[in-house]
Amino acid sequence: MLLFLPFVAFADEGYVHGENHCYYFNSPKGWVLDNVSGKNQGMPMVSYPKSSSWAKAITVIYSHNADFVPGAKTPQEKIKGQIDRVLEDFRTSGAGPDLQARFVRTVKSMSGAKGEIWKFSGDKWGNLELVAYFAGPHTVNFFVMSSRDPKDFERSAPALLEFASSYRKANDCVPCENTTTSCGGQSEARR
C-alpha cells in the first residue's frame, strides 16, 4: 500500500531552483516543507502546519519566482513590477475590482538579503495574503502566505517572517534527485 503514496519531503531546509534562479530557506517551526503537493498547481515548494495538509490547511505558504518586468532596474522596481503584474492578473481573472496591495515593511534575511513584505486583500473570495519578495540576480523570488481566515492569518504571520529571514540566494543548487534537502524546481519538483 505504501508504494502507491507520493513521497512528501519533511525537511527543515529546502530550496527552489531553475535555469535562472536558486535560493534556499528553512521551514518555520511546526511547518512542513512539501515539494510534491503543489506541483500540479505550478508551485515548486509548499508549506503548511504539521497538523494539516496542503489540501486542508486554512493557511498555507508557498514559494515561487517570476522574471523581472521589462525595464525594472532597482530591486524596488523589480518587486513593484511583480506586484503590479499580480494585481492585473488577479483582477483580469475575476478576483474583483477591490483587490489591493499594501506595503507592510522591509525585511532583511540572516544572509543580508533585503526584501519587502506586502499584504494583499479585497478579493471577492475574502482571501488574505502576506508576501515576502526578494529581488534575486535574475528573478523576483517570493514566499506567499495565503489564508481564508483573518484570525489564522494573524496567527500564521510569524511563519512567513521565518521563511523570509531564512532566505538565501545562491548559485549552488543541484538537481533534486542529487540531494537530501527538500528541493523544488520550476520544471521539476521531485525528490
Could you tell me whether strands 45-49 and 31-34 are parallel, antiparallel, or unpaired per DSSP bridges? antiparallel
Mean pLDDT on 108-137: 95
Higher pLDDT residue, 106 or 191? 106
Confidence (pLDDT) at 176? 63
pLDDT > 50? residue 182: yes
Residue ranges of domains in the chain, CATH in brackets? 7-144+157-185 (3.40.1000)
What pLDDT score was predicted for residue 164? 96
> What is the 8-class DSSP label of residue 110?
T
The secondary structure of 112-136 as a DSSP string is: S-EEEEEEEE--TT--EEEEEEEE-
Q: What is the pTM of this model?
A: 0.86
Range with top average pLDDT, 1-5, 160-164, 187-191: 160-164
Q: What is the mean pLDDT of residues 42-67?
A: 94
Query: Taking all residues of the chain, what is their mean pLDDT, rounded to a whole number?
Result: 86
What does the pLDDT read at residue 7? 34
Assess whether pLDDT exceeds 50 at residue 88: yes
- DSSP letters spanning 17-73: EETTEEEEEEPPTTEEEESSTTGGGT-SEEEEETTS-TTT-SEEEEEEEEEPPTT--
Of 133, 124, 129, 121, nearest in space to 147 by CA: 129
